[in-house]
């Protein structure tokens, strides 16, 4: 159908079609989806001399690169007898997009070698190539050329310069460029805010964000995503709610993705449900990554049924979709349901990745299927050509530990091709606590102290093993070790959402306005547990208050 329209005689009455016809060809080039389309389009242009039009040839080159045929794009570019800056820019952009940053820089240097002069588009494309290479010295050389050729006041070029410096570690240089721009538009402000976020300097990003004379959805999204990625979900949600109140700012799919991530971390189900309704109303439900985030949010917020409903109603699923659903079921202890999803995944010929197997091994652990977990672990390499990573070994240690196969778990740690990290020794210590193996617990703690000497939780686990066996001398030694090593107990924390507001609690923190009522209820629950003989020592730890703290209750 595409070629029939190209060959239609009413479009072309001579070898030099008018401008309107050129626009039609340009539009058709945007529809090319295969190498055959590209070849036919090129042949059509050659027969009519349309390859002499720099704009059309640039569109052909870029169409090649979009479809992954970068070598063909370069061949077409190279066989052109004369080039202008527009063609150079297109080819540099294509090479940079294909990850061929060195070739892009080489071609950029060729612009001046052929007697041409880079323009306002040449430098941003070259700067992006420098970002791909992560070579700040190359960016500095480009900065020198920018000044030399008179682009030091070009906002478009300077925005690319800010992005280059902040991406290559030169955040102070990026800020210096930013401060030197007399007329800043919202794109420049966004580039600097994103630079701070990229380096984890959220306070500086927030200060700059608050001073912006104008904000768009990209500005809000950068801050929301920054807080979510740096494990500050409460701040991410607060900024997202402010964005909802801002006139003329509608969240896009990236903003919603960041907000859903924060909801999942904080357990903010009400806001997550609002975002779900907004996604359906705005037509974003076709965006697979966004729906994957919805599944993850519902699973982590406790509504696994709604997570499954979202999964079932998705017309298109990626491997991430299947993996997220498997991980969601595993998180809720529904190992058999997770394994059922994996079987469906295999039946639909969706190839699992390494993350999928982490979710599968976790599901086997929750289902108590050590045998099945070992089978999947062994078949990762033989059936799917996936080499187990340290995360997979960690899952297997947890799986064997939960099943009471402590010797097998210790042997696996000894034989694995990686040096055991804190997560693996922590899993072994937790298994030793569950099954009361003092010797194994002591061994795991010694290794953990080498890896993370200041983690108080590790000492607590072994202390619980000693206490369960009445070895109070061992408890005392651990406390002395903590004191001598300046190890401080990190207070536990939790959060709950009530009527759209997330309440956070920290152990021994009496700052909550309902502190007195909360502890009265806890004491009531404690009494009922004692009366029914199911009192747990963990409750005692929770309710042990100092005398001055008890006074707050009355």
Q: Tokens 């964000």 map to which residue?
A: 209
In the numeric block, which tokens belong to residue 145? 């050329």
The whole-angstrom separation of Cα 294 and Cα 274 is 11
Please report the pLDDT score of residue 13 as a whole number: 35
The whole-angstrom separation of Cα 357 and Cα 381 is 11
**Helix (H/G/I), strand (E/B), else coil: 319:** helix
Name the phi and psi angles at 504, rounded to 5.
Answer: -110, 140
The whole-angstrom separation of Cα 464 and Cα 499 is 37
C-beta of residue 314 within 8 angstroms of C-beta of residue 298: no
> What percent of the chain is helix, strand and coil (3-state, nearest 5)?
70, 0, 25
Name the phi and psi angles at 458, rounded to 5.
Answer: -65, -45
DSSP character for 351? P
Distances (CA, A) of 373 to 98, 301, 380, 408, 411: 39, 27, 11, 13, 16
pTM of the model as a whole:
0.73
C-beta of residue 466 within 8 angstroms of C-beta of residue 474: yes
The whole-angstrom separation of Cα 496 and Cα 269 is 10
pLDDT tens across the length of the chain (554 residues)? 333 333 433 333 334 445 545 666 777 777 777 778 778 777 777 777 777 777 778 888 888 877 888 888 888 888 777 778 888 888 888 888 888 889 889 988 888 888 888 888 889 989 999 998 888 899 899 999 999 998 888 899 999 999 999 998 889 999 999 999 988 999 999 999 999 999 999 999 999 999 999 999 999 999 999 999 998 999 999 999 999 888 778 899 999 999 999 999 988 899 999 999 999 999 898 999 999 999 999 999 999 999 999 999 999 999 999 999 999 999 998 999 999 999 999 999 999 999 999 999 999 988 888 889 999 998 898 888 899 999 999 999 989 988 888 889 889 998 989 888 888 888 888 888 888 887 887 788 778 777 676 566 666 666 666 666 666 766 666 666 666 555 555 555 666 666 656 666 666 666 677 777 877 787 788 777 777 765 444 444 444 444 444 443 33
Please report the pLDDT score of residue 550 as a whole number: 40
Please report the pLDDT score of residue 62 as a whole number: 80
Q: Tokens 């500050």 map to which residue?
A: 232
Name the phi and psi angles at 505, rounded to 5.
Answer: -130, 140
The whole-angstrom separation of Cα 108 and Cα 126 is 7
| Residue 379: other Cβ atoms inside 10 A | 12
Please report the pLDDT score of residue 351 as a whole number: 93
What one-character-per-residue DSSP string does 390-459 give? HHHHHHHHHHHHHTT-HHHHHHHHHHSSS---HHHHHHHHHHHHHHT-HHHHHHHHHHHHHH-TT-HHHH
Which residues are within 8 A (CB) of 174 and not within 5 positions of it... i.e. 6 or more apart? 161, 162, 163, 164, 165, 166, 192, 195
Please report the pLDDT score of residue 499 as a whole number: 60
Please report the pLDDT score of residue 508 as a whole number: 61
Name the phi and psi angles at 501, rounded to 5.
Answer: -110, 130
Give 248-254's long-range contacts (Cβ < 8 A, gap of 24+).
Answer: 249/215, 249/216, 249/217, 249/220, 250/217, 250/282, 251/217, 251/220, 251/221, 251/278, 252/217, 252/221, 253/284, 253/287, 253/289, 253/290, 254/221, 254/225
The whole-angstrom separation of Cα 277 and Cα 280 is 5
Q: Which of 165, 77, 147, 91 is nearest to 121 (CA)?
A: 91
Q: Which of 340, 326, 269, 265 is nearest to 292 (CA)?
A: 326
Please report the pLDDT score of residue 488 as a whole number: 56
- pLDDT tens readout for residues 102-120: 988 998 888 888 888 888 8
- pLDDT tens readout for residues 205-255: 999 999 999 999 999 999 999 999 998 999 999 999 999 888 778 899 999
DSSP character for 498? E
The three state secondary structure string of 359-382 is HHHHHHHHHCCHHHHHHHHHHHHH
Q: Tokens 């306070």 map to which residue?
A: 203
Please report the pLDDT score of residue 548 as a whole number: 44
Residues β-bridged to residue 155? none
What one-character-per-residue DSSP string does 113-144 give? HTT----TTHHHHHHHHHHHHT-HHHHHHHHH
């Amino acid at each position: 159908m595409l070629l029939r329209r190209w060959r239609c005689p009413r479009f072309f009455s001579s070898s030099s079609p008018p401008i309107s016809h050129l626009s039609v060809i340009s539009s058709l080039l945007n529809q090319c989806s295969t190498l055959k389309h590209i070849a036919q389009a090129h042949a059509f242009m050659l027969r009519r001399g349309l390859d002499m039009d720099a704009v059309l040839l640039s569109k052909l080159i870029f169409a090649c690169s979009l479809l992954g045929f970068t070598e063909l794009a370069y061949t077409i570019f190279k066989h052109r007898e004369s080039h202008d800056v527009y063609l150079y820019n297109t080819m540099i952009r294509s090479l940079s997009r294909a990850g061929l940053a060195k070739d892009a820089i080489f071609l950029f240097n060729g612009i001046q070698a052929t007697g041409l002069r880079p323009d306002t588009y040449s430098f941003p494309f070259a700067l992006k190539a420098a970002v791909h290479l992560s070579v700040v010295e190359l960016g500095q050389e480009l900065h020198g050329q920018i000044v030399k050729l008179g682009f030091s006041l070009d906002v478009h070029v300077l925005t690319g310069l800010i992005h280059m410096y902040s991406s290559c570690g030169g955040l102070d240089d990026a800020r210096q460029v930013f401060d030197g721009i007399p007329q800043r538009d919202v794109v420049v402000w966004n580039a600097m805010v994103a630079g701070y976020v990229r380096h984890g300097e959220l306070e500086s990003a927030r200060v700059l964000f608050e001073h912006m004379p104008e904000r768009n959805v990209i500005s809000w999204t950068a801050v929301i995503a920054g807080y979510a990625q740096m494990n500050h979900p409460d701040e991410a949600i607060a900024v997202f709610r402010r964005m909802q109140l801002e006139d003329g700012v509608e969240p896009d799919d990236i903003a919603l993705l960041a907000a859903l991530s924060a909801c999942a971390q904080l357990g903010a189900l009400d806001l997550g449900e609002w975002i779900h309704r907004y996604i359906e109303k705005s037509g974003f439900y076709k965006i697979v990554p966004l729906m994957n985030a919805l599944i993850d949010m519902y699973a982590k917020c406790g509504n696994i049924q709604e997570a499954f409903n979202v999964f079932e109603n998705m017309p298109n699923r990626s491997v991430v979709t299947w993996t997220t659903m498997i991980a969601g079921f595993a998180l809720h202890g529904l190992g058999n349901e997770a394994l059922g999803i994996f079987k469906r995944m295999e039946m639909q010929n969706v190839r699992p990745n390494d993350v999928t197997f982490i979710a599968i091994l976790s599901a086997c652990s929750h289902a108590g299927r050590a045998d099945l977990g070992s089978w999947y672990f062994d078949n990762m390499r033989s059936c799917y050509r996936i080499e187990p990573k340290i995360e997979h070994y960690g899952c297997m240690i947890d799986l064997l530990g939960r099943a009471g196969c402590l010797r097998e778990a210790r042997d696996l740690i000894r034989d694995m091709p990686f040096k055991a990290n804190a997560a693996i020794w922590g899993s072994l210590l937790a298994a030793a606590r569950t099954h009361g193996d003092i010797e194994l617990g002591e061994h795991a703690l010694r290794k953990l102290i080498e890896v993370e000497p200041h983690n108080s939780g590790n000492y607590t686990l072994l202390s619980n093993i000693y206490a369960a066996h009445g070895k109070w001398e061992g408890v005392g030694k651990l406390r002395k070790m903590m004191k001598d090593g300046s190890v401080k107990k990190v207070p536990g924390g939790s959060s709950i959402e009530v009527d759209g507001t997330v309440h956070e609690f920290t152990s021994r923190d009496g700052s909550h306005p309902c502190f007195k009522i909360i502890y009265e209820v806890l004491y009531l629950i404690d009494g009922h547990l004692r009366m029914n003989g199911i009192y747990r020592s963990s409750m005692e730890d929770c309710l042990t208050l100092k005398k001055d703290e008890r006074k707050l209750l009355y």
